[in-house]
Amino acid sequence: AQKVTQAQTEISVVEKEDVTLDCVYETRDTTYYLFWYKQPPSGELVFLIRRNSFDEQNEISGRYSWNFQKSTSSFNFTITASQVVDSAVYFCALSDPANGDKLSFGAGTTVTVRA
Amino acid sequence: NAGVTQTPKFRILKIGQSMTLQCTQDMNHNYMYWYRQDPGMGLKLIYYSVGAGITDKGEVPNGYNVSRSTTEDFPLRLELAAPSQTSVYFCASSTGVHYGYTFGSGTRLTVV
């Protein structure tokens, strides 16, 4: 069963538009961790954020913000005023005891920002 | 601080050849992982290790072997390369899965 679902395969926006990437996770554990990674066209995988299940506070880092809602098992990611450099594949991931020592990755969402 | 280093960055293999993808980390992480990423697709776990001398299969281990003789190194061996193994291979390490992974820059492998 898919533990992390990123329903949006591709999103295309024009520069300066906001874009929200959805991430829905599945776990029966009360303690777990959620992550977002970015993979730009150059190919490397870059860590963006880590959030534990006890911290539902939203987080903002520059133009990036994350909305964690346990009630809906979602950890959504918003890019405000998108720029061409935001074009990348974004992966959501889950760490929970049921999956042992491995992260469960979503399939990724490709974001294309057009100038 | 080098982080996770993968070599080579690119390689072309002929069908039936073998090779070893090297991965080394200098962060003293116990956990190490190998993933493959096919074009336009997500990450699939091949093998992982929770410490020196311990390895375990991921979801797509067939055609690959690993060893972990030291904390720093986690080489991935391809035996009898097949076109289906054409992919980008990522090595990652972690101090503990709850902290997430640090990824290497990847090895792009083409089997022809």
DSSP string computed for chain A? --SEE---SEEEEETT--EEE--EE--S-SS-EEEEEEE-TT---EEEEEEETT----EEETTEEEEEEGGGTEEEEEESS--GGG-EEEEEEEE-GGGTTSPEE---EEEEEE-
What integer pLDDT is reported at residue B49 of this predicted model? 97
- Report the C-alpha gap between A110 and A113 in whole angstroms: 10
pLDDT on residue A56: 84
pLDDT digits (tens, 9 = 90+) for A60-108: 899 999 999 999 999 999 999 999 999 999 999 999 998 889 999 999 9
Q: Does the structure show a pLDDT above 80 at A55? A: yes
Per CB-CB distance under 8 Å, the chain A contacts of B99 are: 50
**pLDDT on residue A1:** 60
Residue A5 has pLDDT above 70, yes or no: yes
- Inter-chain CB proximity B42 and A102 less than 8 Å: no
Given a contact cutoff of 8 angstroms between Cβ atoms, the answer to whether B31 and B48 are in contact is yes
Instruction: Inform me whether the pLDDT recorded for A2 exceeds 80.
Output: no
- Determine, for residues A102 and B58 on separate chains, whether the beta-carbon distance falls below 8 Å: yes
* Residue of B50, B102, B105 with shortest CB distance to A101: B50
Convert the pLDDT of each residue in B35-64 to its tens digit.
999 988 999 999 999 999 999 999 999 999
Q: Read off the pLDDT of residues B3-40 as tens digits, 9 standing for 90 and up.
A: 999 999 999 999 999 999 999 999 999 999 999 999 88
Q: What is the DSSP string of B23-85?
A: EEESS--SEEEEEEE-TT--EEEEEEEEETTEEEE-S--TTEEE--SSSSB--EEE-S--GGG
Q: Do B31 and A35 make contact, defined as CB atoms within 8 angstroms? A: no
| Cβ partners under 8 Å of residue B40, min gap 6 | none
pLDDT tens-place string over residues B86-96: 999 999 999 99
Whether residue B2 is predicted with pLDDT greater than 90 in this model: the reply is no
